[in-house]
Amino acid sequence: MPHISFSELKLWNECPWKHKLVYLEGIKVFEGNEHTAFGTAVHSTCEQLVENNIKNAAEYFQEQFLKELQGLPENYELKKDLVVAMRMQGCMLTGHILPSLKEYFGKYTLVSVEEKLYEDIEEYDDYSFKGYIDLVLKTSDGKYHIIDWKTCSWGWDTRRKSERMTTYQLTLYKHFFCIKHNIEPADATTHFALLKRTAKKNNVEIFKVTSGNKKTENALKLLNKSLYNLTNKNYIKNRMACQGRFGPCEFLKSQHCN
Q: With 90 as the cut, is the pLDDT of residue 246 above it?
A: no
- Across the chain, mean pLDDT equals 96
The amino acid sitting at 227 is L
How do residues 153-170 score in pLDDT, each as one tens digit? 999 999 999 999 999 999
Provide, rounded to the nearest whole percent, the portion of the chain with pLDDT above 90.
Answer: 93
Q: Helix, strand or coil for residue 15?
A: coil
Give the mean model confidence (pLDDT) for residues 73-94: 96
Instruction: Report the sign of the C-alpha dihedral through residues 29, 35, 39, 42, in that order.
Output: positive
Predicted TM-score (pTM) of this structure: 0.95
- CA 56, 197, 147, 45: dihedral to nearest 10 degrees? -20
* Phi and psi based region of residue 75 (left: phi greater than 0; alpha: psi -120 to 50; beta: remaining): alpha
Selection from 14, 25, 91 nearest residue 60 by Cα:
91
> What residues contact 149, with CB distance under 8 A and at least 6 apart?
42, 43, 46, 134, 135, 193, 195
Mean pLDDT on 46-75: 97
Give the pLDDT confidence score for residue 30 in this predicted structure: 84
DSSP 251: T
